[in-house]
Amino acid sequence: MAETRKSELEDRQDQAGARDALPAIVALIVSHGIVASLDLDADTDRWQLMVLLLPLLAGVWLGWAQLRTLRRSDEYQRTVHLEAMSVGFAVAMFVAMGGGLLSGADVGSDAQYLQVTFIAGILSWVATLTIRMRR
Local confidence pLDDT in tens for the 135 residues of the chain: 455 677 888 788 878 888 888 898 899 889 888 888 887 777 777 887 888 888 899 989 988 998 998 898 889 889 999 999 999 999 999 999 999 999 889 888 888 888 899 889 999 998 998 899 885
pTM as predicted: 0.72
Residue 2 falls in which region: left (phi positive, over 0), alpha (psi -120 to 50) or beta: beta
User: What torsion do the CA atoms of 70, 71, 73, 79 make, to the nearest 10 degrees?
Assistant: 50
Residue type, 43: D
